[in-house]
Structure 1
């Protein structure tokens, strides 16, 4: 009798494709590593491929990520400025409390 075929669930296939996309190894190398035929992995990749898991290879994706980075940097700068303002306000309040808490003669 021949070998019994291995069955894999959808989650395993999706995770395997994600793993494929994140690696720099070839599909054939990963095929040997996981003991799954390369043809099967290619089929799964065609069906479950998610481009967000792939490295930045297109100029468009690179520009999109660059813009996102600029936006996040701007957000961080605005938060840092707000923190500095709040710290300054707190310092003023502390000084006021100190001044007004002194007993009057």
Structure 2
């Protein structure tokens, strides 16, 4: 007896996993309705959860330390001060040019 192996699109897999995760559908029900082996659904769900955990870890690794945050804040503050000075100079120049007319 030969078995047929079906390839599923990643978008379809994600859709089915979200049906289970977000909408609360049972794997057994989806397995019967969509004619997908239960083992496949279980594997897809595990892969989805692993991917989410990996994304969360990467997001946490991107968080700044206190010193990095302070440096970034100081640079931003300095940049804002410089921009405000430029705006003030341009306002004065505009006022001068408008008075000459």
- Tell me the TM-score normalized by structure 1: 0.44
- Tell me the TM-score normalized by structure 2: 0.45
- More helix, by proportion: 2
